[in-house]
A and B are shown apart, each in its own frame.
Chain A
Amino acid sequence: MSTERRVQQQPAYILHHRPFRDSSQILDIVTRDHGRIALVARGSRAAKSRLRGVLRPFLPLRVSWVSRSDLGTLTGAEASGPPVGLRGDAMFSAYYVNELLLHFLHRHDPQPEIFALYAEAVAALGAAHDVARCLRQFELELLSLLGYAVNFEHESGTHKNLDPDRHYEYRVEQGPAPVERSSGPLVFTGAMLLSVQARRFDEPEVLRAATRLLRALIAHHLGGKELKSRKVLIELHRGRIATNEEQTSDSD
């Protein structure tokens, strides 16, 4: 017989929620000590539910639940801090961060460091002016905490330190390999890779290089799965670019 398990006041964030029956929802949450779990929040969408203002993504929560099977039942939730003021692009980026966690975290696998990293990333996105920088920082830390060794310091195979003046091609799963050509999708100078390693993201070229590298790395580790939040973000930007182009061509 399966045993009942009660958890009280666990720090958590909602990653995703979907409606369930008439007035309930199913929450996909990440918790500090119990990893990612799914909970039913019964009656939480009902008109008089006290949980309606609380069960929001990106809000730091303390959550209590009881579980007998894989799907637990929420027994209580309260906000444990003020809401993060996510605006515009920062909010859509925060959804991207959620989707990365939904993909990379397995259920019931506690990862307190990743939980802390997530909390930090959400807070940073709320406060930041530079969304891209927050995202690259998060992606790099996430990949290394997940154990996908991200190496921008040593040559693959020989483990020699990178020569700042040489060109290297970054090979996923291997690392930087010296090449003679100076261009290519993932070809960088040693100096650039070392700057990424040192997270010098206040320099625009370093940030751009990190974006290229991380996009390739994440795409590889997603195993061909397309991120829905990225698709939406691309559509949003396309709308914006389209209007700007119309307006410039009008003024021509």
Chain B
Amino acid sequence: MPYSPLLVRLIDGLRCMPGVGQKSAQRIAFHLLERDREGASNLSTALADAVGGIGHCSRCRMFTEHDLCAICSASGRDASQLCVVESPADVMAIEDATGFRGLYFVLMGHLSPLDGIGPDELGLSQLDEWLQQGEVKELIIATNPTVEGDATAHYLGDMASRRSVQASRIAHGVPLGGELEYVDGGTLSHAFFGRRAVD
């Protein structure tokens, strides 16, 4: 039986979410209509408000509906350390795991020459201006350990050294609780050559 036009529109709309295909979209649509109309209308206003209201932090490019995001406007953060990450999810991961008290800069991607994603797309001139102000003493580069992430890290390191800012890149290596035998060669060689003195 064909669905009514509104239902089709709802199912098609839900499919724009990652990991949601035809089947799941249908299930979500029926669930919302059958059992949770209140939840559905909250979702629709939340979505509309978010899409209309959320932009980027003018300083670090994180998502926010204000001019500055919560981290940039918080007092008591250490402005001398700046951590560069690829995505907003990385900010949350580092915040939760490390207790890092510095500031962030979110690239919203990585350099990808074959897709035409260069410094302009990543807002690197904005980062350069930030470094130029002289407040940042250490740039912590936390791009992903992929070839594109490496390329991005290299460029950021270069930028930092031109502004006389010390740059470091987060270490990559064997996962905690892992066994060397099962770690892939690339990771193991990184871990091996990036070894540290035992304290």
Bound together, the chains give a CA A235 to CA B117 distance in angstroms of 10
B96 within 8 A of A: no
Nearest CB of B to A99, in Å: 6
Given A22-B19, A236-B119, A243-B163, is A228 in contact with B113 using a C-beta cutoff of 8 Å?
yes
Contact with B along A210-235 (1 / 0, CB 8 A): 00000000000000000011011101
Residue B18 interfacial (CB < 8 Å): yes
- How far is A16 from B186 in the complex, measured between Cα atoms in Å? 19
Contact of A228 with B114 at beta-carbon distance under 8 Å, contacts A57-B147, A243-B128 already known: yes
For chain B, what secondary structure do more than half of its interface residues adopt (helix, strand, loop), or is it mixed? helix
Among A71-116, those with CB < 8 Å from B are 79, 82-83, 87-88, 91-92, 95-96, 98-99, 102
* Inter-subunit contact A53/B113 (CB<8 Å): no
A83–B189 Cα distance when bound, in Å, is 10
Q: Does A240 contact B (CB under 8 A)?
A: yes
Cβ A239 vs Cβ B187 within 8 A = no
**A-side contacts of B118, CB under 8 Å:** 231-232, 235-236
B18 touches A79 (CB 8 A): no
**Cβ of B119 and Cβ of A58 under 8 Å apart?**
no
Residue-by-residue, is B113-128 near A (CB-CB < 8 Å gives 1, otherwise 0)?
1111111100011001
Is B181's CB within 8 Å of the partner chain A? no
Contact (Cβ within 8 A) A99 B113:
yes
Flag if A95 contacts B113 (CB, 8 Å): yes
Cβ 8 A contact of B147, one of A18, A58, A228: A58
Cβ contact within 8 Å between A98 and B114: yes
Cβ 8 A contact of A53, one of B117, B120, B184:
B184
Interface size class of chain A, counting residues whose CB lies under 8 Å from the partner chain: 35 or more
Per-residue interface assignment for chain A, residues 27 to 65, with 1 indicating a CB less than 8 Å from any chain B CB and 0 otherwise: 000000000000000000000001011101111000000
Most B CB within 10 A of own CB, among A18, A52, A95, A239: A239
Chain A positions within 8 Å of B18 at CB level? 22
How far is B146's CA from A43's CA once the two chains are assembled, in angstroms?
Answer: 17
The answer, yes or no, to whether B72 is at the interface (CB within 8 Å) is: no
Say if the beta carbon of B154 comes within 8 Å of chain A: yes
Instruction: Count contacts between A and B, CB distance < 8 Å.
Output: 75
| 0/1 interface trace, chain B 162-192, chain A, CB 8 Å (1 if under) | 1100000000000000000000111101000
Chain A residues near B155: list those with CB within 8 A: 88, 236
Interface size class of B (residues with CB under 8 A): 20 to 34
Instruction: Label chain A's interface by main secondary structure.
Output: helix
Instruction: Confirm or deny: B158 has a beta carbon within 8 angstroms of a beta carbon on chain A.
Output: yes
Q: Do B113 and A96 have beta carbons less than 8 Å apart?
A: yes
Which of the residues A79, A91, A240 comes within 8 Å of B150, measured between beta carbons?
Answer: A91
- CB atoms of B186 and A83 under 8 A apart: yes
- Chain A residues with CB under 8 Å of B186's CB are 53-54, 56, 59, 79, 83
CB of B151 within 8 Å of the partner chain: yes
**Cα distance A89–B186 in the bound complex, in angstroms:** 22
A83 — which chain B residues lie within 8 A by C-beta?
186, 189
B187 to chain A, nearest CB (A): 6
Contact assessment for B184 and A239 in the assembled complex, using a CB-CB cutoff below 8 Å: no
B111 close to chain A: CB less than 8 A: yes
**Known: A50-B184, A58-B147, A243-B163. Contact between A16 and B114, CB under 8 A?**
yes
Chain B contacts with A in 126-173, Cβ cutoff 8 A: 128, 146-147, 150-151, 154-155, 158-159, 162-163
- In the assembled complex, which residues on chain B have CB atoms less than 8 Å from the CB atom of A87? 154
Q: A53 contacts B185, CB within 8 Å?
A: yes
Contacts A53-B184, A239-B159; is A102 near B114 (CB within 8 Å)?
yes
13 contacts between A and B (CB under 8 A): A53-B185, A54-B184, A56-B147, A91-B154, A96-B113, A102-B114, A228-B114, A229-B114, A231-B118, A232-B113, A232-B118, A240-B158, A243-B163
Top 3 A-B pairs, shortest CB-CB distance: A232-B118, A229-B113, A228-B116
